[in-house]
Amino acid sequence: MKTIRVVLADDHTLVRQGLSSLLAADDSICVVGEAKDGYGLLEKVRSLQPDVALVDISMPLLNGLDALSKISRISRQTRAIMLSMFSDEAYIAQAWEHGAWGYVLKDEAPEQLIKAIRAVAAGEKSFPMDPVPAVTHDLLSPREREVLQLIAEGKKNSEIAEVMMRSLHTVRNHRASLMRKLGAHSAAELMRAAEKLGVVRLVPPKGLK
């Protein structure tokens, strides 16, 4: 049996270590790389070309949903599974639309994750329910969504320019475009818009911890 090569991304060290230990116990799966943010994940996928990428939905710098849409362009052989604590149908649908092959809740039994990895590696979709098309946000470009997340994380223009490797002028233009498109007049209003669009989740949904 061919070993399934996996890259996993989560911003919590303990979660990554737990997932790595869990998967190491299965002889058919090998964790070849780990990342703590979306950009780190893309670097690992580009350099390692894994079979499966386990992607946390909420990551700093570049969230899981936006990272998903880039993975297939970086590595055609890599299929992504979204890891999430959110069971919202809208999040599952967005993961589907952004290119995920599977969606696994973090409170699922470990066997469910291994089952999903095997299924996705074999070319099968693995979702907890049939995804219902979500409302897409074509209003913003992918680059604008990245800037919006970084603004929501409290980063200044200069810090955003460094993270994205873009000029300060370009970042300022993106910020101005975001404020115009979203009708925002301050960073606080942009942060609220980011939460509403699902770019970031600033507070846990009711009923979830």
Domain for residue 206, yes or no?
no
Q: How far apart are CA 169 and CA 158, in angstroms?
A: 10
**Domain end marker among 86, 121, 156:** 121
- Find the CATH number of the domain harbouring 81: 3.40.50.2300
Same domain, 35 and 110: yes
Residues 13 and 94 in one domain: yes
Does 17 fall in a domain?
yes
Q: Please indicate, yes or no, whether residues 65 and 13 belong to a single structural domain of this protein.
A: yes
Question: What is the tally of structural domains in the chain?
Answer: 2
Q: Are residues 103 and 188 in the same domain?
A: no
pLDDT of res. 197: 64
Which residues neighbour 155 within 8 Å (Cβ) at sequence distance 6 or greater? 163
Please give the helix or strand (H or E) that residue 46 lies within, else none: helix 38-48
If asked whether residues 104 and 23 sit together in one domain, one would say yes
User: What is the DSSP-derived secondary structure letter of residue 20?
Assistant: H
Domain boundaries, position 114: 4-121
Q: What is the pLDDT of residue 209?
A: 36
The conformation of residue 126, written as its DSSP 8-state character, comes to: B
Q: Would you say residue 147 lies in a domain?
A: yes
Residues 179 and 113 in one domain: no
Along the 209 residues of the chain, how does pLDDT read in single tens digits? 689 999 999 999 998 999 999 999 999 999 999 999 999 999 999 999 999 999 998 888 888 888 998 998 899 899 999 998 888 787 888 888 888 999 999 888 889 999 999 999 999 999 987 665 544 445 778 788 888 888 888 888 999 999 888 899 999 998 888 888 877 778 888 777 776 666 655 444 334 33
Residues 77, 172, single domain; the answer is no
* Domain presence at residue 131: no
Euclidean distance between CA atoms 154 and 144, whole angstroms = 15
Does residue 114 share a domain with residue 20? yes
Q: Do 16 and 96 reside in the same domain of the chain?
A: yes
Cβ 94 vs Cβ 55: under 8 Å: no
pLDDT of residue 65: 86
d(CA 109, CA 43): 29
Structural domain contains residue 204: no
Q: Let me know whether 117 and 50 are in one domain.
A: yes
Residues whose CB falls within 8 Å of the CB of residue 17, separated by 6 or more in sequence, listed in order = none
Q: How far apart are the first and last CA of the chain?
A: 39
User: 135 lies in a domain?
Assistant: no
Q: What is the pLDDT of residue 207?
A: 40
Residues 113 and 150 in one domain: no
**Domain-located, residue 190:** yes
Q: Which two tokens stand for residue 155?
A: 């980063």
What is the CATH number for 179?
1.10.10.10
Cα 104 to Cα 83: distance, rounded to the nearest angstrom:
5
Asked if 107 contacts 207 with a C-beta cutoff of 8 angstroms, the reply is no
Q: Tell which of 87, 121, 155 closes a domain.
A: 121
